[in-house]
Structure 1
Amino acid sequence: MNKKDFSDLEDQIMSTVSNALKAIDFANLKRDITDKTEDTLNQFKSKFNGYSEKYMILNRKSKNDVSAYISKRPSGSISGILYILFGVIGSLVFGFSVITTLVFKMLFSSVVIISSNIILGVVFLFFAVSLGMLLRGMTLRKRVKRFKKYVRFIDDNSYFLISDLAKFAKEKESFVIKDLNKMIGLGMFLEGHIDEEKTYFMLNNEVYSDYLNLKKQQIAKEIDNEKSNEEIYNSEKEEKESIIRVGRSYIEQIKQIRNDLYKEEIAIKLDKLGNIANQILNQIEKNPKKIQEVNKFINHYLPITIKLINSYKDINNQLIKGENIENAKIEIEKSIDLINTAFENLLDDLFEDVVLDVSTDISVLKTLFKQEGLVEEDFKK
C-alpha cells in the first residue's frame, strides 16, 4: 500500500467514524475518538534526515539517521483505528439491539421469557465485545501517540536519560520504562535497549554494545580497586599483627627478667613498664590507625629497654659489687623511670581521639537536654 492509498484509507475511516457518531450522540465517546483519530492521521508523513558517525555511549552525543531504528508502521497505527471503527459500529448496533430487546421484553411480557433472555444475553455479549474493541483501539492509539511524542524527544540522539523523557512526556518514570519495554517488544523501536539500572534508553545495537563494553570496563576497574584495597588491607593487617607480635615478645622478655630480679627494687618498675606496654598494644589492636605512632615504641624504645634491663641483670649477678656497678644500676633504674614516664605519655596520646569523641557526645547530650528543658538550670527557673 503506497502513501496515497493509505491516505485514502484514513479518509474513508475518518468519514465512516464521523457518520457513525452522527447516528447517536455519545458526547464523551465522540470527543475522545475524534481526538485519538486526528492525532494519528499524519503518522507516516514525518521523516527523519541526517546521518553522521556514532560516538561512545554516555561520553558524547551521537547523530544518526534515527528513522532507520524506528518502525515506519508502529504497532497499533492501523489496528487501533480498526478496533475503534468496529468497536463504535458494534457498540451502536448492539447497544441499540440491547435497548430494543429490553423494550420488547417489557411490552410483550407474555412471550416466552427464556428465549428473550437468551437473545438479550447474546446481544449484550456482542455489545460488551464491541466496547472492549473500542477500549482496545483507544489504548493502542494512545500508545501510538506516546510513541510519536517519544520520537520527537529523541530528535537525533542515540541515547538519553529516561528521566528526561518522562519529564518531557509528563509521565511517571516507572510508566515510561514499562512503556518503552513494551514498544521494544512490539518492534516499534527496532534496536532499542534499556540499561540494567533502567536509567538510559539506547536507540541502536551499536550504542548498546558500547554501553556493555563500558560497563565491562567499569566492572573490571571496580574489581581491580577491590583487589587493591584488599591487598592494602591485608598488608596493613599483616603489619599490625607483626608489630603486635614483636611487642608481645618484648613484654614477655621484660616479665622474665623481672622474675629473675624479683628481690630488687627495679622489679616494681618493670611491673609498671610491662603493664604500660601491654596497654599500648591493646589500644593499637582496637585502633590500627594509630600503628604509625607506636613504630618507634616497638622498633626502638622497647629493644633499648630490653638491652638496659638485661645489662642490669648481668651486673646484678656479679659476685663483687663495686662502686661502678652500683652507679650503673642506679642509672639504669633512673632510665626505667624515664621510659615509664615516656610510655605513659604515649599511651595518653593514643586516647586523644577517644577523649574527643567522649567530649563531643557529652556536648551533644547537654545541648539536647537543654532543648528539652531537662538540665538543672531550667528546673530552677
Structure 2
Amino acid sequence: MSDNRSWSDIGEELRDAVGDALRSGNFKDLSDVVMNTVTDTVRNVSSRVGQAVSESVNYTEEYEQATRQRQREREKERQAAKEARLAMLPAPFRRVGRVSSVLYRVFGGIGTGVMAVLCTVFGGLGLGYGGGWWTAFSVLALLLGAFVLMVNVGCKQKLRLKRAEKYVELSGQNQYVNVEELALHTNRTPRFVLKDIRRMLELGFFPQGHLDSKGSCLMLNDRIYREYITLEKQRKVLEKEQKAQARRAVEEKPQPAKQPQESAGGSELDEMITQGQDCIRRLRNMNDNIPGEEISAKLFRLENLLKEIFEGLKEHPEQLPQMQKFMNYYLPTTLKLVGAYEQFDDLSAQGDEIREAKAEIEKTLDTINCAFEELLNRMFRETAFDVTTDAQVLQTMLAKEGLTGQRDFEFEKVSR
C-alpha cells in the first residue's frame, strides 16, 4: 500500500475485502488485508508525524538562532549607545578650594588691615616710649605676617582652581590632553604643568584623573585610562616580539670559527664562562621586557660588553683571578638593578620615588658600561703592548737591512 494513498482508497479496499470474505466464506484473506492496511496506515501516519516534528524542530532551531542573533545585535547597539553617552558626559571634576580660598582671602584681608593699623600705632608708641611697647609690636607683627600668609594661600588656591578649570576645558570631549599642549595654552613650562597636575591629583581635583607612565598625557576618566592600559600592554608585547625577532636574527648569523685554545684553570674557567652566559641570557630577557628605547640601548651595549669580556677570558685564562670580584659582586649587582628597573617599569602608576629610582638606575648603567669597557681594555692591554713592541722591533730591523727604501741619513736616525 503506497504512502500517498488516501483515506477513501483505504476504505474502498477494506469494503471490497469484507464483501469477498462474506461471499466466499473465507475470512483468512480478510485478516491479512486488514493487517496490511492497518500497518500501512500506521506507517503513513508515523511518517507524516515525524516529518511534521522534524520541520517543527528545524523551525525552532532557526527561530532560536535568529533570536540570539537579534539579541547580540541589540547588545552591541546598547553597548555602543552606552559608550557614546559616556563619551558625552563631562569628566568628573571637583572644585577644591573654591570656598576655602574665599575664606582665606576675606579673613586674611581683614586681619591684615587690623594688624597693620595696630602695628603702626604700637610701633609709634615703641619709638616714643620704648620698653614693653616693642614687645607688643613684635607680637602684632607676627600676627600680621600670619594674616598675609592666609591671603597668599587663598590667592594660590584660587589660581590653582582656575588652572584646573582651564585644563578641563582644553581636554574637550576627548577628556585627555597632552602636557605640552597645556603648557602651550597656559604660557607655562611643561615641567611646571606636570608638577601642577600631580599636585591637583593629590588634592582630588580630578577624581578619575591619571597620568601616563611618561608623564606626558593627562586622562580625566577611568574609561580612557583603561583603554590606555590596554594599548600600552599591546605595545609592550609588540616591542618584545620585535626585540626577540631582532635578537634571533643576530644569533642566527654564522659566527667565524675559532681555534680551540689551551685553557688554564680547567673546570673553574668553564664554570665561570657558563655563569657569564647565563647572566647574559637573563639580561637579554629583562631587556626584552623593558620597552624604553634609551634604556634598551644601554642594556644592548652592556650585553655586548659582557659577551666580549667572556670571549676575552677564553683567550686569556690568566685573567681568571682578576675576574672573581667581577663575578661575585659587580655582575650580580648589575642584574639586580636591571631587575628592579623591570619591576618599576611594569607598574601602571609610578610616583615620584619610582621615577627617581628609574632615573638613578639609568645613570648607574652608564657608569657600569664605562667600567666594564675599561675592564675589557685591561684584559687586552698586555697583548696590545706586546704587539706594539714587536712592530717597532720589526721596523728597526727592516731599516737596518735597508729594506724600507729610506735614504741613509733617515735610517741612521731610525737606528738610533
When normalised by structure 2's length, the TM-score is 0.41
When normalised by structure 1's length, the TM-score is 0.44
Point out which structure has higher relative CO (alpha carbons under 8 A, 6+ apart): 1
Higher helix fraction: Structure 1 or Structure 2?
Answer: 2
